């Protein structure tokens, strides 16, 4: 049964034999643009997830977040082919998007916080991130948190992250639920404190007191910090037990951009 138009469209096809090819090329460009990864990005992303798993990242919720968040939307077009490599990449202003395996290890540590109930569907609870950068880690955290507050001290990166997260929201409607704050993260963010989880993407000499003050009982903080013995940065974990006591441990050498005070 025809709609009454087949003859006309058949004529068009006969008169313009390349038309379907041109349409296909237009569609291909629309799908690929502007990131240049297009449909393949899902497969490339799943390969990254498989590698993270093979390298020891076990938490299924963290792996699912990596599978969901399109990392290629957070890197510059020129670097898009490296978006799913396990590597840090420049994001402008001398800063970098962190390496997926390190981000994964840090988030998995947060998920294992002491105050986590057995059936928590949002293991990160109320989460504070210091150092939004391009917003990628914030998007991962949002998959696992009740709410994410993310602070950035460089205005241009704060705005870039806003733009990137809007692009993700167009692909994944409804997520990620991230509140971006332009400010000095060394002061934490008192209005939404206390936090069940605090994660820093930049490393300093010592842990700012504000972070400790804003950590909820049962909460965990993970941050790169100088080990104080000239060995460089180590991943520092601080737990606030339910009785209010703080316990600090460290887990492995890392290399993050410096934590700086003030805003620019």
| Positions marked active-site | 98
Residue 220 within binding range of ligand SAH, rule CB under 6 A:
no
List the interface residues with ligand SAH, window 110-149 (CB under 6 A). Answer: 130-131, 133-134, 136-137
Q: What are residue 246's DSSP bridge partners?
A: 240
Nearest to 237 by CA among 256, 253, 220: 220
Residue 257 within binding range of ligand SAH, rule CB under 6 A:
yes
Q: What are residue 89's DSSP bridge partners?
A: 97
Alpha-carbon gap, residue 101 to 258, rounded angstroms:
19
In the complex with ligand SAH, which residue's Cβ is closer, 97 or 222? 97
Among 143, 152, 196, 239, binds ligand SAH (CB under 6 A): 152
Q: How far is the CB of 53 from ligand SAH (least distance, A)?
A: 20
Alpha-carbon gap, residue 136 to 72, rounded angstroms:
9
Q: How far is the CB of 241 from ligand SAH (least distance, A)?
A: 27
| H-helix or E-strand spanning residue 163 | helix 155-171
b (16+ CB within 10 A) / e for 67-101: ebbbbbbbbeeebbeebbeeebbebeeebbbbbbb
Q: How far is the CB of 65 from ligand SAH (least distance, A)?
A: 13
Q: How far is the CB of 66 from ligand SAH (least distance, A)?
A: 12
In the complex with ligand SAH, which residue's Cβ is closer, 154 or 222? 154
Interacting residue ranges for ligand SAH, rule: CB under 6 A = 91, 95-98, 130-131, 133-134, 136-137, 151-154, 157, 184-186, 201-202, 257, 259-261
């Amino acid at each position: 049964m025809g709609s009454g138009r087949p003859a006309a469209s058949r004529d068009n096809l006969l008169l313009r034999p390349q038309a379907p090819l041109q349409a296909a090329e237009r569609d291909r460009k629309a799908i690929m643009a502007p990131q240049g990864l297009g449909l393949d990005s899902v497969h490339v992303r799943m390969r990254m997830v498989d590698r993270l798993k093979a390298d020891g990242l076990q938490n299924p919720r963290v792996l699912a977040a990596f599978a969901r968040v399109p990392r290629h939307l957070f890197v510059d077009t020129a670097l898009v082919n490296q978006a799913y490599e396990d590597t840090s990449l420049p994001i402008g202003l001398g800063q970098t998007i962190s390496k997926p395996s390190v981000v994964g290890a840090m988030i998995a540590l947060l998920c294992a916080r002491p105050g986590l109930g057995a059936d928590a569907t949002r293991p990160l609870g109320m989460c504070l991130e210091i150092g939004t950068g391009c917003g990628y880690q914030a998007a991962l955290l949002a998959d696992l948190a009740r709410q994410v507050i993310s602070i950035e001290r460089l205005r241009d990166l704060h705005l870039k992250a806003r733009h990137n997260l809007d692009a993700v929201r167009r692909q994944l409607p409804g997520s990620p639920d991230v509140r971006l704050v332009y400010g000095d993260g060394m002061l934490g963010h008192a209005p939404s404190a206390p936090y069940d989880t605090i994660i820093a993407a930049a490393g300093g000499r010592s842990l700012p007191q504000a972070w400790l003050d804003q950590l909820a009982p049962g909460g965990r903080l993970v941050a790169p910090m100088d080990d104080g013995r000239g060995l460089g940065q180590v991943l520092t974990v601080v737990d606030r037990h339910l009785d209010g006591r703080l316990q600090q441990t460290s887990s492995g050498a890392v290399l993050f951009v410096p934590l700086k005070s003030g805003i620019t």
